[in-house]
Amino acid sequence: MSMRGWWLLFCGGLSVLAFIAWTIARTDRSATSESTDSSVATATAAAGETAHIAATVFFGSPDGQALIPVRRDVPLAGNIVEQGRQILTAQLSEAAPPPYLGLIPAGTTLRAFYLTERGDAFVDLSPEVVSSHPGGSLGELLTVYALVHAVTANLPAAKRVQILVDGKEVDTIAGHVDLRRPLTPDASLVRQSGSK
C-alpha cells in the first residue's frame, strides 16, 4: 500500500474515533441533562405540594362542659371563602384527639359556605347535623359554637355565623339553641386545654 493509502486509512480511523468520542460525550451530556431535568421535576413537584396554614378547630373538653381549641394544619386556599370551606371541612371531619370529645354528629358534611361584606358567614350543613345529633342543651350549644368559633377564630372578616341545614334556615338543631339569626362567638364557652 502506498504512503498515501496509509495516510487515508489513518485519517479515516481518526475520524471514526472522533465520531465515537463525540457520540459518547453527547450521550453523557444527555444523561446529565435528563438527570438534571428529573431533579428539577422532583423539586417542582415538591414545590407544587399544597401549602398549609395552622387553623384552630374546636372539640369538647373531657368533662363535656367547654370548647377546647386545637391547632390543625389545613390546606391554604386562594380566597377567604375557599379558606373557610377548608377550615370547616377540618372541623367536621377531624376525629377528636384523646381526651377531647367530638361535637359534630357523624356523617355531617359541609354543603356550602358564604361570607357577606358585612361579616355574616353562612354555614350550610347536611341534614345529619340534626338527624344524628344526640341532643341535650349543652351538647347542642357546644356543637353550634364549635362551628361559630371555628369560623370566627380563623377568618377575621367573619363576625357572625348563621347555620343552615340542607340549604334552609332552621329554628334549632336539637330544640335548644336559636339558629334563626347569626351568632357571635361566646368566649365563656372556650377553655384552654391546660385550664379547668
What mean pLDDT is predicted for residues 37-57? 64
Taking all residues of the chain, what is their mean pLDDT, rounded to a whole number? 84
Strand partners, 53: 74
Burial (CB count within 10 angstroms: exposed 0-12, middle 13-18, buried 19+), residue 55:
buried
- Averaged over 110-129, what is the pLDDT? 98
What is the per-residue pLDDT across 123-141, written as a single tens digit (0 to 9) for each?
999 999 999 999 999 999 9
Confidence label for 190 from pLDDT (cuts 50, 70 and 90): very high
Three-class DSSP labels, the chain = CCHHHHHHHHHHHHHHHHHHHHHHHHHHHHHHHHHHHHHHHHHHHHHCCCCEEEEEEEEECCCCCCEEEEEEEEECCCCHHHHHHHHHHHHHHCCCCCCCECCCCCCCCEEEEEECCCCEEEEEECCHHHHCCCCCHHHHHHHHHHHHHHHHHHCCCCCEEEEEECCEECCCCCCCCCCCCCECCCHHHECCCCCC
With 90 as the cut, is the pLDDT of residue 70 above it? Answer: yes
Q: Give residue 34's pLDDT band: very low, low, confident or very high (50, 70, 90).
A: very low
Domain ranges of the chain: 1-49, 52-189
* pTM listed for this prediction: 0.74
pLDDT at 11 over 60: no
